[in-house]
Amino acid sequence: MSISSFSAAQNQASTLYLPPGAWLTVLDCLCEHFSAIGREQWLDRIARGRVLDGQGHAIAVDLPYKEGMRIHYFREVPDEKAIPVLETILYADEHLVVADKPHFLPVTPAGEYVEQTLLRRLIRRLDNPHLVPLHRIDRHTAGLVLFSANPQSRSAYQSLFPTRQIEKRYEAIARALPGLSFPLVHKSRLVDGEPFFRMQEGPGASNTETVVEVLEKNADLWRYALYPVTGKKHQLRVHMTALGASICNDPFYPDALKDVDDDYANPLKLLAKGLRFIDPVTGLERSFESEITLQW
């Protein structure tokens, strides 16, 4: 496998550094470490070249175990459920791909989703295994996602986010807040919440900041523009809840709803609507707008 092919494979595979133990083979270690995956499944993956060593070579079934060895494996979900939504490619060149992600589609493989993700769909559509997302939005959120298409220029685009050189604009529909003056700035400290997938505001110095404006009023519901200055997990959802207007159809805030199936007719009313930045490769100003509209 060439260096470029191996790098592309790494982008699609998960990595494990073998933990301490007394196993004889890598297979034995994988079987115990991932107890939910049967030995027959690991044997099948190894036979199909879906488990690689640190150099990108398919491992043998009897490869001896060594603590700290780097193993790459491709996640698979048997009978993965189809997600009946379609992404849109808004822009693509040799360096950058901009996609409009529909609600409910994950950006990258996680949990029960592997092939039904924006990343894997775009890799297939564009025949480019080098695609890597430059940022993430939640599965329940729709809108713009940027992808690096070229490893040579990737770091230049990745640097836009931690250095805050990119303006992100979201839209949300939530209940009216006539008692507050807009625009306003909400700052708080976000920490891990309960259950594990939620965030919450906690004491201490703020580590998040969001600017909130009102775009449109429709009786008891308003359309808001949200400008996240920082980019913490669930920041906009937690901040709107803290203001007293949880985003419509949010299954996590203010309370986590249990065992809720995806309701495609009533998605979370949150949309990554706009992105603006100076392209670090061309020096040109880039501005992208989602073609999705949040319905009342």
Global pTM value: 0.79
Minimum mean pLDDT among 50-59, 186-195, 230-239: which range? 50-59
Share of the chain above pLDDT 70, in %: 95
Domain architecture of the chain: domains with CATH:
3-73 (3.10.290), 88-289 (3.30.2350.10)
Per-residue model confidence (pLDDT) at position 257: 87
pLDDT bracket for residue 5 (50, 70, 90): very low
Mean pLDDT for all residues in the chain: 91
Per-residue model confidence (pLDDT) at position 12: 65
Per-residue model confidence (pLDDT) at position 9: 47
Per-residue model confidence (pLDDT) at position 4: 43
pLDDT bracket for residue 227 (50, 70, 90): very high
Cβ contact 182:191 at 8 Å = no
Per-residue model confidence (pLDDT) at position 170: 98
Return the H-helix or E-strand segment holding 120: helix 118-126
- What are the residues facing 142 on neighbouring strands? 271
Per-residue model confidence (pLDDT) at position 73: 86
Per-residue model confidence (pLDDT) at position 41: 83
Q: Which residues of 162-180 are buried (b: 16+ CB within 10 A; e: fewer)?
A: eeeebebbbbbbbeebeee
Cβ contact 239:195 at 8 Å = no
